[in-house]
Amino acid sequence: MYPIVDLVEHQVIAAVEEEEGVEEALHSQCNVVFLLCGTIFSVKAIVDRLKQAGKHVFLHMEFIEGIAPDRSGVAYVAQHVQPSGIISTKSAVIRIAKEMKLMTIQRVFLIDSSALGRGIKSAESCKPDAIEAMPGIMPRVIAEMTTMTDLPIVAGGLISNQQEIDATLRAGALAVSVGTPRLWNNSY
């Protein structure tokens, strides 16, 4: 079993895209936060605040200004920032983070059938704790992904209302990452 399955208590994940959104995430029902913003100077304080509020934080390695998505960047994050885990589109970064005992989520962009197959193959080779499928508004494709891999699927991107969340969860996603704060407090 993948540890992320036990970690997710609320199936809506707060995807914080700007530092101003941290406050709303702190007070949301979401127990998992995807941090898609920050700098090398601010990220530690943000992660600490979120952790003190009982949140599990995953940093998107390609979005934190001043921290490179490479071995040194991941080592810095693991040793100094200490999130629950990282998100990356890069298999090499996922492997490095796993070596450093961080939980990992590999982001896969579903632009066509070929990208779906390559994304699953890539994830199967580096064994992240979950796959984040982008965009997440395709329940049929999410359902297909769940038959292609036993890795948990988190759906994210372009989800803008409750009906899309519901459809995605019914399709088999473990959770849905949403950047819209008004959707963070629905009960799941």
* Residue 79 CB coordination number (10 Å): 9
Residue 188: per-residue pLDDT: 61
Q: Is the pLDDT of residue 180 over 80?
A: yes
In this prediction the pTM is: 0.96
Per-residue pLDDT reduced to its tens digit, 118-147: 999 999 999 999 999 999 999 999 999 999
Is 3-183 a domain of CATH 3.20.20.70?
yes
Place of tokens 């992240």: 128
What local confidence, expressed as pLDDT, does residue 162 receive? 94
Based on the number of CB atoms within 10 Å of its own CB, is 147 exposed (0-12), middle (13-18) or buried (19 or more)?
exposed
For the residues 70-85, what does the mean pLDDT come to?
Answer: 98
pLDDT of residue 8: 94
Enumerate residues 6+ apart whose C-beta is below 8 A from 86: 58, 59, 60, 61, 74, 77, 93, 94, 97, 102, 103, 104, 105
pLDDT tens per residue, range 28-49: 999 999 999 999 999 999 999 9
* Strand, helix or coil for residue 105: strand
Residue-range domain boundaries for the chain: 3-183
Tell whether the torsion through CA atoms of 16, 19, 20 and 26 is positive or negative: positive
